[in-house]
Structures are given as C-alpha cells and as structure tokens.
Chain A
Amino acid sequence: MYKIVDKKQLNEAVELMVIKAPYVARKCEPGQFIILRADNNSERIPLTIADYNREEETVTIIYQVVGYSTKVLYEKQVGDSVVDFVGPLGKPTELKKHKKVLGIGGGVGAAPLYPQIRKLHEMGVEVDVILGGRSDEYIILEEEFKAVTKNLYFATNDGSKGKEGFVTDILNELIANGEEYDEVIAIGPLVMMKAVVGITKPLNIQTAVSLNPVMIDGTGMCGGCRVTVGNEIKFACVDGPDFDGLLVDFDECLRRQNMYKEEEHSCRIGLEGGQNNA
C-alpha cells in the first residue's frame, strides 16, 4: 500500500497528489512515469512523475479526472492509500545542453513538462514556455514555470489568460518574430502535439513529444502501447514515452487512443466530456 501524504486541487478537474513510494522516489528521473491502481478493482493507469523527493521517498503526480479510474483516485483523501504504485517506468528524457529550448504544455501536459524544463534550467539552458488551456483556470503550475523560464506565454480558448487561441498560434508568432530554438518539447493532448509538429516539421526544428497510448503493464509485456515511429513499431512504455515528434505517426496514435471510446463513454461515470485534453 502506498500512502497519500498530501493532495491539492489545482483546478476544477486537475489534482496534485504526493504519494509515498520509496522504490520509485529513489530512482526516478524526468520523463519517467508510474502506473497505479487506486484500489483492488481499478484499472492500471499510467501517470507521469511530476516531481519527487528522494529523502522523503515521495513522488508527485498531477492528474486530470477524465474517467472511471481517475475518479476513484480523486475520491481518495490524505492518509488513504492506493494499492499499487509501480515504477519508474519508461526511459528518462534525454535532455541536451542546447542554447535555447521552447517547451509547450497543453492542459495537464504542463505537469510532465515541468520537471524537464526545470532540469534544463538547472543545466543552464535558456527556456521559453507556452502553456495552453481551456481558460485561465486550466493553466497549472504557473508559478513553478515562472521560476525556471525566460519567457512564459499563455494561450486560452476563451482568451481569459494570455492570447485567445491555441498554443500553436503563439508558436507561429514566435517563429515569425525570428525566434530560434534548438529544440521544441511539446507535451499535451495528441491533437496539440500533432499540430505543433505540423509547424516544426516543415522548418526541420527538432521536436520531442511524449506519447500517452493506452497501457496495461508498462513493462513491454502486452504490446498494447505500440506506436509507429519512423516506420518502426515501438512500445511506448519501454522505448518511450518520449519520441522524436517528426517521426511519429500521429493519426495512428489518435485512432488507437479511441479504441475503447464506446466502453469508456462518460455516461458510465456521470462526467461530461471525458476527454483527456486541455
């Protein structure tokens, strides 16, 4: 059993949890994830490691309530436990000592982006970040990002914070203004990452994305998480979750992500939308 030592609501649908998990906390690195089961009849759900504390042996996750299992998790209180918490899974992100990097975080994608940006900052890399969300309320970790970025931009669908529109509108502007980035790191909903790559690929700007296909074991055993990258089949849980965005077959990812849409229809849990995005 893995104890929930702290939790904090970040907005209506997004929550941060700090969980005691010695094995994960001792070894994890930015870019890796965990799989948890909230209780004995829950699904195994993958969540990115948003932060960790090696001394306290805790791991921080930030998740959006989108369906049944995230709802079960959401109902847990500080002092309760989750039954399973395994990791760290996946390969750590390979952060290169570039001169200048642009991070793009869509919705809850800001959570996995943050530890990477912080690490780049610590390495002395100059970083700009664009955060996107439905509205002001859906922008998370603003203060944290502020502390580690040179320029922080916002895009919201309703214009309640920053620019009205999408993160890609800002990306286009930055490029038009002659900003040059050695690498773009985009983490968010698949459609967002696809749109980002739609811009960076013609310009041949190196772009890292973090894929989140449906997973079960997270150890390479089931093959359910397979994605096509540069015409090769990869298992996102062991070969990723980070991949070269310019090589990813996003349409296939989008298709596969919807495999269980019918079964996971939000009416089952009384949630509206049920979309895993910003």
Chain B
Amino acid sequence: MPNMSPKKVQIPEQDPQIRRKNFDEVALGYTLEQAMEEATRCLQCKTKPCVDGCPVNVPIPEFIKAVEDGNIDEAYSIITKENALPAICGRVCPQESQCEGRCVRAKKGESVGIGRLERFVADYIMSKGNIEPKNIEKNGIKVAVVGAGPAGLTCAGELAKKGYEVTVFEALHELGGVLLYGIPEFRLPKSLVAKEVQSIIDMGVEINKNVIVGRSITVDELFEEGYKAIFVGSGAGLPKFMNLEGENLNGVYSANEFLTRVNLMKAYDFPNNPTPVKTGKRVAVVGGGNVAMDAARTAVRLGAEEVYIVYRRGEEELPARLEEIHHAKEEGVIFKLLNNPTKIIGDEKGWVTGMECVQMELGEPDDSGRRRPRVKENSEFILPVETVVIAIGQSPNPLIRQTTPGLSVESWGGIIVQEETMETSKEYVYAGGDAVTGAATVILAMGAGKTAAEAIHKKVLELQG
C-alpha cells in the first residue's frame, strides 16, 4: 500500500541561525529509514511521467523501488547507468521544473522527493568507501575533452566506459568547473565533487590540468597529436556586467570573482588561505538566479549584516531553484524585488558607498511570456552598501572560437551544434553544456556530454568500417 502522505518526509537541515555562520552543508540528508519511508510514496506509475522530466532519463521508479526494498547498491547501479554524478544532481537539479515537476503526486500535495532520494543513494554508497573501478578494455582510440565541468566529465566518463583513451584538458588547477568554483560548499560540499570526479578518473580517464585550449594548445594541434575527436565543454565563464556608472569601483565584484575567491581559493578561511575577499557590512547582489542566491548566502556567511537581492522582476519570476530562495529567506537575505540598479556610488577613495536604484512595475507579457518590467517614475532611491555583486549572467568564453577556424558560433558566442549529435560545424569537433546553450543547468550539461559521447562512438565506428 503506497504511503499517501501529501508531504515529503522532511529532510533534516541545519538551523538557519547556526548555518548563517558556517559553510557546512545546509541539508543534512535522509537516514536509511527516512529514505525508505519516502520511497513508499512513489506510485510506481507505468507511464513514468517523472522520467520524461529528467534530461538524462534516470529510471526513477525502478531506483525508488530498490530504495523501498532497502537495496541501495541496486538503486545506485540503476541510477549510475544513466547519471554519472548522482550525489551532485540530487542536490542541484531544479527538480521542481524537471523530474519532480512531472510527478503525479505533485498534482495533490508534494511530489515524491526524487532529488533527495537520488542524493541519499549516492551518499550512502560513497560513505561505504570506494566504489570498485571496473576493469575496462581499452580500444586505443584517443579522444580529447576540453573542460572538466559536468559536460566534459560526463562525456569523458561515457567514452572511457566504451574503452576510449580519453584525456581531459582543464584550464584551472582543480576539476569540476562551476561545481567547484561557483556553487558554494554549503550547497554542494567540495569533497563530494572530488569523490564523484574521482569515480570518473578511476574509469581510466587521463587528466591534464593547467592547460588552456586555445592558448597552451589549439584544437587543431590536438588533432595533430592524434586525438580522433574533440569534445568542447568549456562552459559559460565570461561574466556579464551592466555597464553602469561606478561598476569599476573598489567593492564591486562579478559573482564569478566573488564566488571563485571564496570557493576555489578558500577565502572564507583567510588568512589560513592567503586569498582575501572583501565583504562590507551591507551587500547588494544584483540578479535573481541560482548564482545570485549563492552570492547572497555566501555574503551572509562571511559576516555581512544586511544582504540584499536586487532583482528587476517579481517573486514569481525569480529564476533560482525554489529551495535556494526559501533557504536564502530563512537566512535573512532581504529581497528587493521590482528594483533595478542605475548607478553605483563611491567615495573619494574609490570605494563603494551605495547603489542607486529605481523601482519597477510589471507591464504586458513579453515574447518569453514573462511580464515586462518598466521603470516607475520618480522612484529613485539609494541603497547604502559597501559591496555590490553583479550576478546577471555569464556568456561563453571567446577563446576557443577565436582560435579554432571552422567553428561556427551564434552572435552571442554559443557554439552551434547539431542537436542529435552535438557535432559542431567542424568535423570531429563536438560541443555541449553551457558553451553551447549559455548558462543553463548541470544536468543539461551532462545530458549533452552523454549525447556527444554516443555520437563520437558511432562516428568513430563508422570510420573504422
């Protein structure tokens, strides 16, 4: 008999007043008993609407059944057939618009906690120790992957499983892309990213850090070195600014810089780690997506007393995951919705003292169906702050397109691919993830990496006849 409780089994969380002061993970995760209980809420629908909502088609009812039976090893092997990074996806997927959004239970009450269960399974298996690397026979065919974010890592893992000699080239000194330098520790512990990355390395993937494709070596030179195909998963790392007056004042950061200092360079542990970060008493974060929520909640933890989210549309339009908005509010982040910055103000020494904003009101819906914000007359006001973090989006870094002749890109910089194969305009060069779509999601990036791996495999087989 399924459990007809309208609510998910609650997930234990750190108290907001305590977690405001630390970088430890907010959600603590289910126990085995809690997970097995939540699993009983799944109706095992024959039509599996939830699976249609998952970009990588995780066999959701099947793995949940295994959890219900207490067979977590089995659940893990079901999930990892389709998803190489379950501990990560369980934590960061926007489930409400994907798998859980389609769950039939969501029609009356809350959906099944698919993300939480996925995360539980991965954590449970990882806590038992190392996952046995499988012995894979190599086929001797070399493939290069550019970028060790979720797109690149997934592509590398899939190809390694098929026996390819895969080398990943990563610009930074750590692996994981945005998972590492963008998403904060309190939402996605770095040790966990490292473990999931290790499980991919254990499949025999070679890693080459500190190599910037386009500078250290070009795509064409990779072909000369014998790589038969190349997957570009270089992400969308280029931060957008607003071209506001005062944007270069001391105390204005891009979200990328603010988060990179804290996550990658561990500025929260300054001076034990030598990279500093500046957070004033009052911080304004401009934007309403996951990146903005992460920056705001990071500022809270660094000791800021007042942290604002300044967003030009309304609550409904906030693009961040629901859970992040909820957590941010619990932690005391102040939402200045329907407000837009017009200018950043500084003192004579060049430090930020405030941000001038105008109020907005919502007009007619635009092409995307969202109501278009417009400026309310005579509504200017100054928000006194010492730090401004701009979190209005990122676009693809131009380096690869500038150094790879024959690669077609959109006017805004996204690499153009054929959707079914992820092949670019340059033969044997594939691309996926944020480098193609612009800033999107972890799971879409992984889906793209997987599709490309299949296509590369097919193409190489054809080549060999």
Chain A interface residues (CB < 8 Å from chain B): 23-24, 26-27, 37, 41-44, 68-69, 83-89, 216-217, 219-224, 226, 228, 233, 238, 252, 255-256, 258-260, 263-264, 268
Contacts and interface: CB of A to CB of B under 8 A. Distances in A.
29 contacts: A23-B210, A24-B216, A37-B173, A41-B272, A44-B173, A68-B274, A84-B173, A86-B173, A87-B216, A88-B215, A88-B216, A216-B275, A219-B237, A220-B399, A221-B181, A221-B237, A221-B260, A222-B256, A223-B253, A228-B248, A233-B241, A252-B350, A255-B349, A255-B350, A256-B248, A259-B250, A259-B278, A263-B270, A263-B276
Contacts of B248: 226, 228, 233, 252, 256
B374 interface: no
B275 A43 contact: yes
Contacts of B276: 260, 263-264
B270 A23 contact: no
A23, A83, A222, A228 interface centre (most CB from chain B within 10 Å)? A222
Contacts of B254: 222-224
A217 B264 CA distance: 10
Contact of B239 (A88, A221, A252, A255): A221
Nearest to A67: B274
Contacts of A223: 239, 241, 253-254, 256-257
Interface of B: 171-173, 181, 209-212, 215-217, 237-239, 241, 243, 247-248, 250, 253-254, 256-257, 260-261, 264-265, 270-276, 278, 349-350, 397-399
Contacts of B172: 217, 219
A44, A84, A219 interface centre (most CB from chain B within 10 Å)? A219
A220 B395 CA distance: 11
A221 B274 contact: no
Chain A to chain B: the 9 pairs with minimum beta-carbon distance, closest first: A263-B276, A222-B257, A255-B350, A86-B210, A221-B237, A223-B254, A23-B216, A84-B173, A224-B257
B274 A87 contact: no
Nearest to A83: B173
B256 A221 contact: yes
Given A219-B171, A221-B238, A263-B276, A44 B265 contact: yes
Contacts of B274: 41-43, 68-69
B438 to A, nearest CB: 15
B271 A85 contact: no
A216 B171 contact: no
B217 A27 contact: yes
Given A224-B257, A255-B350, A259-B278, A219 B173 contact: no
B216, B241, B265, B273 interface centre (most CB from chain A within 10 Å)? B216
Given A27-B216, A85-B210, A217-B260, 8 more contacts: A86-B216, A219-B397, A221-B256, A222-B239, A222-B256, A223-B239, A224-B254, A233-B248
Contact of B257 (A42, A216, A233, A268): A216
Given A223-B256, A263-B271, A89 B215 contact: yes
Contacts of A89: 212, 215
A146 to B, nearest CB: 33
Contacts of B350: 252, 255-256
B392 to A, nearest CB: 12
Contacts of A26: 217
A128 to B, nearest CB: 32
B144 to A, nearest CB: 14
Contacts of A27: 215-217
A41 B237 contact: no
Contacts of A68: 274
Contacts of B211: 23, 86
A86, A221, A228 interface centre (most CB from chain B within 10 Å)? A221
Contacts of A228: 248
B397 A221 contact: yes
A160 B211 CA distance: 44
Nearest to B208: A23
Contacts of A24: 216
Nearest to A249: B248
Contacts of B261: 216
B237 A255 contact: no
B221 to A, nearest CB: 9
Contacts of B210: 23, 84-86
A240 to B, nearest CB: 14
B257 A43 contact: no
Contact of A43 (B209, B265, B349): B265
Contacts of A260: 276, 278
Nearest to A224: B257
Contacts of A84: 173, 209-210
A217 B216 contact: no
A224 B216 CA distance: 22
B173, B250, B253, B350 interface centre (most CB from chain A within 10 Å)? B173
B351 to A, nearest CB: 9
Contacts of B397: 219-221
B31 to A, nearest CB: 35
A265 to B, nearest CB: 10
A68 to B, nearest CB: 5
A258 B349 CA distance: 10
Given A86-B171, A219-B171, A23 B256 contact: no
Nearest to A86: B210
Contacts of A226: 241, 248
Contacts of B247: 233
B212 A86 contact: yes
Contacts of B271: 263, 268
B275 A219 contact: no
B241 to A, nearest CB: 7
A86 B212 CA distance: 8
B401 to A, nearest CB: 12
Nearest to B240: A223
B281 to A, nearest CB: 15
A120 B271 CA distance: 44
B369 to A, nearest CB: 31
